[in-house]
Chains A and B, each alone.
Chain A
């Protein structure tokens, strides 16, 4: 969660203002896009297991839907703020636009700690959230999805409530559903695979063959695991991976000189992506401090865990051998660190491009749900590759043509697309 004095919405607006200047957007367009289009703030009363009533605060922000229905997750978090939700909704707009999927950006949340709620209470909370918004969200207006501390079960409760209110089946109302209940094959792999599709294309552009390249990965959750799997399959080697140790309450980096082996790490990893240190040592892994992943002699860095992990303090520790950083996490690099990366001449695949495989596959899920016809995994992953590759190429071409940093190029493409859509609709 954000530090006390850090306001992500301000960061998002600053980023926007800078790119709006580059695009020379008119004032009305700037006013439209630097703010949310719609916001819902509401209360959700829940009857708790002890018989008492408790009222939770919920939000849904739609930043922009000029290019299509809003899309974005629902977060359950005790420190949720409306500004965090606003910033994330804006970033969703840019993410959908950069991969050119016909969706806008949204985000929702509830101030709560699911750890302290029974399943029944969580279900009531989900149903309550939908009851407040049932007329303002839907398959053709705003499509929620799982996010921090929400999962497929929460989505099914929400879907059920929505369908009960509207008296029909609308599987396209929400994404992140389990396969067989309106979910899409390939969704689990999508973010990690999508990340590696962009890495593959970046290497191609740099004239480097993936065989023989070595990467270091931060994080060992869903995104990192599938990214490592595909990266290894295209010939690369992963030297180390870092993860959070719940028991010791600190992060560690696990390193093996001839490359980590997913097959041996999976059985000693819990469902949150924490590797059992004792067993890892038995398997010959070196346990290094959490930040060591960044300092390794590798070709590629893949931060796929938390925000602000590459910052002014550690950017100079990046080895000279590193040629590429692919941001699997959201916001892993601070603005100051960006300057350091530019100076070092490292090629960067920015987060909202590199990790857009997830939302792209959510879009596929929504399309399939709306048709009530589901594709084979080959079809899903084939389309994902094409989308990610095209998005990468467009961004890279923009960067080269206008001599822009990749992050700026991606923002220019995304904001330009949304601005044009808003203008074409006659809004501004």
Chain B
């Protein structure tokens, strides 16, 4: 595998972003950071090994980008005396505010100004840290990414917004989420350095908004295989609009690329209607929002499917529910609720997207020698006559433990079992957990999910401070951005948990988490993740838990301290896991 750690193999930015002959350049001589290194590697692989002839009609590339290398991060931090600020206990907003008051190094500022002077399309300002996406310690989704519309007439205004976004990404290196992640991953903050990717956003302009028709994440290994598939069949998540919907764990379409025509296991049409994408994210290219440089979503819009219907993008990605026949028809020809199923592409194959993903996953796997995850975005507008475009946004290796753990099914039903499941993420054994934090089933209601998140955060902080790893048990999807689907925690709020259980209560009709971005990181930190539906044959031993010595109790949760550690085993190959009392 080529080494892109040093930026020397990448051409320097020649102050010409789109027309300089090079679509991948660098500013500075330091490291490109993990994310950019991955892209550099895959750029070469695509050039050398990708057989384009099967996809002649599609533009397939890495969107034009330049990387500010880590060299300038050091310079920026020193020049503005920021190490003192980040060593203090300031919250994220205060850190971001301090970073906004700084100055970027003079030796890079001319290049940035030149870039902005000639570019008037939306840009993504993305993190690419030294530790990010490195095999063994991926930091996916931990640091900030800021999208800017970059469409103001005046270069000065565009430049100001752009500089604010770069400083925001720098600041995100020290946000609580990132710091906690570093701690849990066994790194110190001093080890981390941030490179910044400046990349064109793949998308199409619509009325006052800009977004891709499809964003997606494809993995060559599925930690939660669907019933008909094996883990190595992989999984693809697709969303309308920007990929934030997938990253945030929102409602999106998912399927195995080996079985593109098989729908996710929805129980009924009603379930399908309820559990598919209702909103999407776009870059706001219309009326400027209130100035808020420390808000990652400052220029993002969360829109309704009706906006996409108005933009005429649904015919190529949606199906329509026909109420009279109780059928779901591909496309948007009839009246009725639209459902984002991507059926025109996956079933009617108006675009060979799935075929392309299988090839790219295979190529990426061979390049890395690992199971991989890729992120992409796609645009197409048949009315315009322009060819469809597939933008390769990111590739990273997936960490899969090699320890051989075998669990017999009988073990799951043993009398000493506290929790057992056949849908478990991770692989290995653990005998160090002496604390359990769990949501009290009797008074839980999803309408209190935000309050629950706050209670967990406080307890997590205390247990982390005392160096006590714990088992966390709760209802619904952990980390969901939708309060009604689960507990809307971010990673830092539960970072001390070494094992996590998500389960449902009898009246809860929620599909549990499918290993979205957030959980990918948990897996790579060696955290075990159990999924357990109320209707499953295995149950949690609540009685035993309730009879333990209570260490702390809040309105919605309880913390019990055990006399002896729990014994945890997870068989990653078969996705089975058990925790013995």
> Which residue of A is nearest B100, CB measured?
A376
Is B106 in contact with A230, judged by CB distance below 8 angstroms?
A: yes
Is B110 in contact with A233, judged by CB distance below 8 angstroms?
A: no
Q: Which of B104, B110, B159, B163 meets A197, CB within 8 Å?
A: B110
Contact with A along B97-112 (1 / 0, CB 8 A): 0000001111101111
For B117, the chain A residues whose CB sits under 8 A away are 386
Given A211-B29, A233-B75, A386-B117: A378 in contact with B110 (beta carbons within 8 A):
no
B114 interface contact, C-beta 8 A: yes
B113 interface contact, C-beta 8 A: yes
A377 interface contact, C-beta 8 A: yes
B160 interface contact, C-beta 8 A: yes
> Which residue of B is nearest A211, CB measured?
B29
Given A211-B29, A233-B75, A386-B114: A381 in contact with B160 (beta carbons within 8 A):
no
Q: Which of A211, A233, A376, A383 meets B103, CB within 8 Å?
A: A376
Is A377 in contact with B29, judged by CB distance below 8 angstroms?
A: no
For A189, the chain B residues whose CB sits under 8 A away are 106
Is A381 in contact with B109, judged by CB distance below 8 angstroms?
A: yes
- From 62 to 112 in chain B, residues with beta carbon under 8 angstroms from any chain A beta carbon are 75, 103-107, 109-112
Is B75 in contact with A378, judged by CB distance below 8 angstroms?
A: no
Is A382 in contact with B29, judged by CB distance below 8 angstroms?
A: no
Chain A interface mostly = helix
> Which residue of B is nearest A235, CB measured?
B29
> Which residue of B is nearest A383, CB measured?
B113
Of the candidates B29, B107, B156, B159, the one having the most CB atoms from chain A within 10 angstroms of its own CB is B107
Is A386 in contact with B105, judged by CB distance below 8 angstroms?
A: no
Q: Which of A193, A211, A230, A378 meets B163, CB within 8 Å?
A: A378
Q: Which of B29, B114, B160 meets A379, CB within 8 Å?
A: B160
For B29, the chain A residues whose CB sits under 8 A away are 211, 235
For B110, the chain A residues whose CB sits under 8 A away are 197, 381-382, 384-386, 389
A379 to B111: give the CA distance in the assembly, Å.
Answer: 12
For B111, the chain A residues whose CB sits under 8 A away are 385
A234 to B104: give the CA distance in the assembly, Å.
Answer: 14
Given A233-B75, A386-B114: A376 in contact with B106 (beta carbons within 8 A):
no
Is B103 in contact with A385, judged by CB distance below 8 angstroms?
A: no
Distance to closest chain B CB from A130 (angstroms): 32
For B163, the chain A residues whose CB sits under 8 A away are 376, 378-379
Contact with B along A363-383 (1 / 0, CB 8 A): 000000000000111110111
Is B103 in contact with A378, judged by CB distance below 8 angstroms?
A: yes
> Which residue of B is nearest A197, CB measured?
B110
Of the candidates A235, A379, A382, the one having the most CB atoms from chain B within 10 angstroms of its own CB is A382
A389 to B107: give the CA distance in the assembly, Å.
Answer: 12
- From 229 to 275 in chain A, residues with beta carbon under 8 angstroms from any chain B beta carbon are 230, 233-235
Q: Once A and B bind, how many residue pairs between them come within 8 Å at the CB atom?
A: 51
Is A233 in contact with B160, judged by CB distance below 8 angstroms?
A: no
Distance to closest chain B CB from A195 (angstroms): 12
A379 to B117: give the CA distance in the assembly, Å.
Answer: 12
Distance to closest chain A CB from B158 (angstroms): 11
A interface residues, tally (CB under 8 Å): 21
Is A233 in contact with B156, judged by CB distance below 8 angstroms?
A: no
Given A189-B106, A230-B106, A230-B107: A376 in contact with B114 (beta carbons within 8 A):
no
Contact with A along B344-381 (1 / 0, CB 8 A): 00000000000000000000000000000000000000
For A235, the chain B residues whose CB sits under 8 A away are 29
Given A382-B112, A386-B114, A386-B117: A193 in contact with B106 (beta carbons within 8 A):
yes
Contact with B along A204-244 (1 / 0, CB 8 A): 00000001000000000000000000100111000000000
> Which residue of B is nearest A229, CB measured?
B106
A85 to B159: give the CA distance in the assembly, Å.
Answer: 39
> Which residue of B is nearest A387, CB measured?
B110
Is B160 in contact with A376, judged by CB distance below 8 angstroms?
A: yes
A197 to B108: give the CA distance in the assembly, Å.
Answer: 11
A171 to B4: give the CA distance in the assembly, Å.
Answer: 51
A272 to B110: give the CA distance in the assembly, Å.
Answer: 30
Is B109 in contact with A378, judged by CB distance below 8 angstroms?
A: yes
Q: Which of A211, A375, A382 meets B109, CB within 8 Å?
A: A382
Distance to closest chain B CB from A208 (angstroms): 14
> Which residue of A is nearest B79, CB measured?
A233
Is B104 in contact with A378, judged by CB distance below 8 angstroms?
A: yes
Distance to closest chain B CB from A295 (angstroms): 29
For A384, the chain B residues whose CB sits under 8 A away are 110
A389 to B29: give the CA distance in the assembly, Å.
Answer: 20
A385 to B105: give the CA distance in the assembly, Å.
Answer: 12
Is B107 in contact with A382, judged by CB distance below 8 angstroms?
A: no
- From 111 to 141 in chain B, residues with beta carbon under 8 angstroms from any chain A beta carbon are 111-114, 117
For A193, the chain B residues whose CB sits under 8 A away are 106
Is B103 in contact with A377, judged by CB distance below 8 angstroms?
A: yes
For B114, the chain A residues whose CB sits under 8 A away are 385-386, 389
A234 to B111: give the CA distance in the assembly, Å.
Answer: 13
A99 to B105: give the CA distance in the assembly, Å.
Answer: 23
Distance to closest chain A CB from B401 (angstroms): 42
A382 to B156: give the CA distance in the assembly, Å.
Answer: 10
- From 368 to 419 in chain A, residues with beta carbon under 8 angstroms from any chain B beta carbon are 375-379, 381-386, 389
A389 to B110: give the CA distance in the assembly, Å.
Answer: 9
A193 to B160: give the CA distance in the assembly, Å.
Answer: 21
> Which residue of A is nearest B109, CB measured?
A382
> Which residue of A is nearest B160, CB measured?
A379
> Which residue of A is nearest B116, CB measured?
A382
Is A382 in contact with B113, judged by CB distance below 8 angstroms?
A: yes
For B107, the chain A residues whose CB sits under 8 A away are 200, 230, 233-234
For B105, the chain A residues whose CB sits under 8 A away are 233
Distance to closest chain A CB from B66 (angstroms): 15
- From 7 to 52 in chain A, residues with beta carbon under 8 angstroms from any chain B beta carbon are none
For A381, the chain B residues whose CB sits under 8 A away are 103, 106, 109-110
A234 to B163: give the CA distance in the assembly, Å.
Answer: 21
Is A379 in contact with B156, judged by CB distance below 8 angstroms?
A: yes
For B106, the chain A residues whose CB sits under 8 A away are 189, 193, 230, 233, 381, 385
> Which residue of A is nearest B105, CB measured?
A233
- From 1 to 48 in chain B, residues with beta carbon under 8 angstroms from any chain A beta carbon are 15, 29
For A211, the chain B residues whose CB sits under 8 A away are 29
Distance to closest chain A CB from B527 (angstroms): 40
- From 146 to 180 in chain B, residues with beta carbon under 8 angstroms from any chain A beta carbon are 156, 159-160, 163
- From 250 to 304 in chain A, residues with beta carbon under 8 angstroms from any chain B beta carbon are none
> Which residue of B is nearest A185, CB measured?
B103
Of the candidates A230, A377, A384, A386, the one having the most CB atoms from chain B within 10 angstroms of its own CB is A386
Is B103 in contact with A386, judged by CB distance below 8 angstroms?
A: no
> Which residue of B is nearest A234, CB measured?
B107
- From 379 to 405 in chain B, residues with beta carbon under 8 angstroms from any chain A beta carbon are none
A188 to B111: give the CA distance in the assembly, Å.
Answer: 21
Is B113 in contact with A386, judged by CB distance below 8 angstroms?
A: yes
A126 to B113: give the CA distance in the assembly, Å.
Answer: 39
Distance to closest chain B CB from A125 (angstroms): 36
For A379, the chain B residues whose CB sits under 8 A away are 156, 159-160, 163
For A234, the chain B residues whose CB sits under 8 A away are 107
- From 136 to 195 in chain A, residues with beta carbon under 8 angstroms from any chain B beta carbon are 189, 193
For A233, the chain B residues whose CB sits under 8 A away are 75, 105-107
> Which residue of A is nearest B167, CB measured?
A378
For A385, the chain B residues whose CB sits under 8 A away are 106, 109-111, 113-114
A79 to B40: give the CA distance in the assembly, Å.
Answer: 63
Q: Which 5 A-B pairs have the closest CB atoms?
A: A385-B110, A382-B113, A382-B109, A377-B103, A381-B109
Extra contacts, 10 of them, besides A230-B106, A386-B117 (Cβ < 8 A), are A233-B75, A234-B107, A235-B29, A376-B160, A376-B163, A378-B103, A378-B109, A379-B159, A382-B113, A385-B111
Q: List the interface of chain A (C-beta within 8 A of B).
A: 189, 193, 197, 200, 211, 230, 233-235, 375-379, 381-386, 389
Q: List 28 A-B contacts (CB under 8 A).
A: A193-B106, A197-B110, A200-B107, A230-B106, A233-B106, A233-B107, A234-B107, A375-B156, A376-B160, A377-B103, A378-B103, A378-B109, A378-B163, A379-B159, A379-B160, A381-B103, A381-B109, A381-B110, A382-B110, A382-B113, A384-B110, A385-B109, A385-B111, A385-B113, A386-B110, A386-B114, A386-B117, A389-B114
